[in-house]
Amino acid sequence: MIRGLYTAASGMVAESIRTDATANNLANVNTAGFKKDTAVNKEFGEMLLHRINDGADASTVGYLGRGTFVDEVATIHTQGSMRHTGNDFDLAINGKGFFAVETDAGVRYTRNGTFSKNIVGELITNEGHKVLGQNGPIRINGNKFTVGEDGRVLVDGVESGRLQVVEFENEKQLVKEGASLYSAGENQERPASGLISQGYTEGSNVNVISEMINLINGYRAYETNAKTVQSQDQMLEKAVTEVGRV
């Protein structure tokens, strides 16, 4: 009975983490460049049970599961849909790649290309981080701002830099830091194969219907495990107060 409590409780913890990931996906369904997360569950090692009172002829009862845990919360990097905005400062990457931006913690990477220009003419993100080119922050000292598919930046028809757009060998190693930013860690970067689309933003890759189904399933699984804990607790109470009574 004690083992049953721990097994059911492990399921509750795992479903709670999975539900949190699903709820975060739904909260960011309209966030440009957002990539959904999914909790990957893994089972604790099973235990093989035998009947111990059968002597040499002990028979196998079967395997006993010992619960589950969340092995990782993985980010799914499939591309979202492209949305036309007509805003020259909105950029989207069609294919693989990330924009490099300068933050207080160092260089970070994002798929969210809803940029703007600050008072000194630097291209910045919604959070005020400078968008990097191959030779430092991108500066727009002029009126007409154009970005080519290869990342070349033209200001009033004159090339003023090239966006630093990179991709990674293993996107699974990227770590989310919030505000659509990723840190690369030891991941090796290389020039991106994706193409820049000006006047577009990339939508999130969250499917609302699918995530709502996952949310309902998560709540039901949590509720089932909670009822199992209650049943185990009631059985334990009877064993202590009634069966164990002299």
The pLDDT tens digits of the residues spanning 30-52 come to: 999 999 999 998 877 666 666 66
DSSP symbol at 31 = S
Name the residue with higher pLDDT: 68 or 16: 16
Name the residue with higher pLDDT: 187 or 193: 193
Residue 234: partners with Cβ closer than 8 Å, 6 or more residues away: none
Question: What gap in Å lies between CA 113 and CA 76, rounded to an integer?
Answer: 18
Please tell me whether residues 99 and 38 are part of one structural domain. Answer: no
**0.85 surpassed by pTM:** no
Q: Is the pLDDT of residue 241 over 90?
A: no
Please tell me whether residues 172 and 218 are part of one structural domain. Answer: no
Please tell me whether residues 192 and 169 are part of one structural domain. Answer: yes
Please tell me whether residues 10 and 122 are part of one structural domain. Answer: no
Tokens 């994706």 correspond to: 194
Q: Is the pLDDT of residue 111 over 60?
A: yes
Please tell me whether residues 149 and 187 are part of one structural domain. Answer: yes
Tell me the angle at which helices 208-238 and 2-27 cross, rounded to the nearest 10 degrees: 160
Q: What integer is the mean pLDDT of 56-85?
A: 82
Please tell me whether residues 94 and 194 are part of one structural domain. Answer: yes
Please tell me whether residues 120 and 133 are part of one structural domain. Answer: yes
User: What local confidence, expressed as pLDDT, does residue 43 receive?
Assistant: 78
**Total domain count, the chain:** 2
| Residues linked to residue 94 through DSSP beta bridges, in sequence order | 195
Please tell me whether residues 186 and 98 are part of one structural domain. Answer: yes
Please tell me whether residues 151 and 87 are part of one structural domain. Answer: yes
Please tell me whether residues 175 and 231 are part of one structural domain. Answer: no
Owning domain of residue 45: 2-52+61-75+206-243
Please tell me whether residues 103 and 196 are part of one structural domain. Answer: yes
**Nearest by Cα to 90 from 202, 200, 204:** 200
Please tell me whether residues 116 and 172 are part of one structural domain. Answer: yes
User: What local confidence, expressed as pLDDT, does residue 55 receive?
Assistant: 60
What length does the chain have? 246
Residue 237 pLDDT grade (very low, low, confident, very high; cuts 50, 70, 90): confident
User: What local confidence, expressed as pLDDT, does residue 190 receive?
Assistant: 92
